A and B are shown apart, each in its own frame.
Chain A
Amino acid sequence: MTTLEKLKEILSDCKGEDIDITPETTFDELDFDSLDKVDIVMQIEEAYDISLGENLQLSTVGELIAKIDEAVANK
């Protein structure tokens, strides 16, 4: 499973419905509230056994994927 596919799974789970995302999708469009965002970060960190840092800013899906891949590579 690619990071994009995994992320789609996590974001869909949080939204309560299947959503389509591309690397260009922004988190503004996705309209998650602050508790959703915390939940998403926790789910990613647990799934990949990584830490995304304390001041993570969620802008686009592509940037988040890059951060996940980087953290996984540095494990």
Chain B
Amino acid sequence: MQTKLTKLLGIRHPIIQGGMAWIADASLASAVSNAGGLGIISAMNAGADWVREEIRKCRTMTDKPFGVNIMLMSPHVEEVAKVVAEEKVAVVTTGAGNPSRFVKAWKEAGIIIIPVVASTALAKMVERAGVDAVIAEGGESGGHVGDLTTMALVPQVVDAVHIPVVAAGGIGDGRSVVAAFALGACGVQMGTRFLVAKECTVSPAYKQKVLAAKDISTMVTGRRLGHPVRAIKTSYTNQYAKLEADSNYPDEKLEEFGVGSLRKAAKDGNVDEGCFLAGQIAGMVNKEQTAAEMIEEIMAQTEKLMEGVKWEV
């Protein structure tokens, strides 16, 4: 299915895979790209060498375009920003801030830039800096979240900017893709569903958590420290919530309590100390499939629902 997004990126289906830290590596990114979506490698807090290696590995696994997600608060952001330009990756998505200062160098390298935004003001700011599209991510998503929901955020961002808008947060099947189109988006970004893709190298325990989750299984913690994240409820998140509510518990210790918890979930499958980030649609994710099977299923449902619909997307 062709939309403004597929034309911009030169891909078959308007689906971008979320840049999930500790999870989105060359294996998942290449699988999504081979299936006609846009796979993304997460640069998370990694250094330049790891990112370069992953990009090169991904190139051996797919000849389709793929991207790198750059977390702007990473201590290695400057060097990683250079690596993606040197490697001339097709697409960069960014999270946790305003990437304006990198736009010139990335455009010179021919990179398509798509920041994740959680408000209209940030969308306008990055549009002015010269980015190609934005991903408007609502708080239904897993990981770092803003307050606005996808339903409220996407149409307001669509009205605020003139560049293509991709919807994210709460999207996991064809119905939600069509809903995103109705809100004015021309594509979607999905993370949670791809967590259980066969090519996803996340720990088996993480996949089990997602497969077992129901609609009310996720919660948001970390508001007190100014970086709220959505994760599947576990003894870890419950304990975090308790400490967070205890005003006598110092911020520094709370910060310490969170360190390494995502790695423990994603890599070690540690169900006691891990933080299993996932979005609210985890309850809809009930089976492991290949990335290609997921995308085909989603697009078949999307196209069926779009029959006779004359929106321009």
Which of A1-9, A20-28, A31-39, A63-71 has 4 or more CB atoms under 8 Å from chain B?
A31-39
Nearest Cβ distance between residue B125 and chain A, in whole angstroms? 6
A55 sits at the interface (CB 8 A): yes
A41-55 interface (Cβ within 8 A of B):
41-43, 54-55
Q: Which residue of A lies closest to B124 (CB)?
A: A42
Q: Provide the residues of chain B in CB contact with A33, threshold 8 Å.
A: 226
CA distance A42 to B119 in the complex (A): 11
B258 sits at the interface (CB 8 A): no
CA distance A20 to B124 in the complex (A): 28
Interface residues of chain A: helix, strand, loop or mixed (majority): helix
Q: Provide the residues of chain A in CB contact with B146, threshold 8 Å.
A: 35
B75 sits at the interface (CB 8 A): no
The A-B contact count (CB < 8 A) is: 26
B98 sits at the interface (CB 8 A): yes
**Chain B interface: which size bin?**
10 to 19
B310 sits at the interface (CB 8 A): no
Q: Which among A39, A41, A42, A55 has the greatest number of chain B C-beta atoms within 10 A?
A: A42
8 Å CB contact of A42 from B97, B100, B121: B121
8 Å CB contact of B97 from A34, A39, A41, A43: A34
Nearest Cβ distance between residue A53 and chain B, in whole angstroms? 9
- Tell whether, in the assembled complex, residue A54 and residue B122 are in contact, meaning their CB atoms are under 8 Å apart: no
- Tell whether, in the assembled complex, residue A38 and residue B121 are in contact, meaning their CB atoms are under 8 Å apart: yes
CA distance A11 to B211 in the complex (A): 45
8 Å CB contact of A39 from B100, B121, B129: B121
Q: Which residue of A lies closest to B103 (CB)?
A: A54
Q: Provide the residues of chain B in CB contact with A38, threshold 8 Å.
A: 98, 119, 121-122, 125
**Top 6 closest A-B pairs, CB basis?**
A39-B121, A42-B121, A54-B100, A35-B119, A54-B101, A38-B121
- Using a CB–CB cutoff of 8 Å, the interface residues on chain B facing chain A are 97-98, 100-101, 118-119, 121-122, 124-125, 129, 146, 226
Q: A34-B226, A35-B122, A54-B129 are in contact. List 16 more A-B contacts (CB 8 A).
A: A35-B119, A35-B121, A35-B146, A38-B119, A38-B121, A38-B122, A38-B125, A39-B119, A39-B121, A41-B121, A41-B125, A42-B124, A43-B121, A54-B98, A54-B100, A55-B101
26 CB contacts below 8 A, A to B, read A33-B226, A34-B97, A34-B226, A35-B118, A35-B119, A35-B121, A35-B122, A35-B146, A38-B98, A38-B119, A38-B121, A38-B122, A38-B125, A39-B119, A39-B121, A41-B121, A41-B125, A42-B121, A42-B124, A42-B125, A43-B121, A54-B98, A54-B100, A54-B101, A54-B129, A55-B101
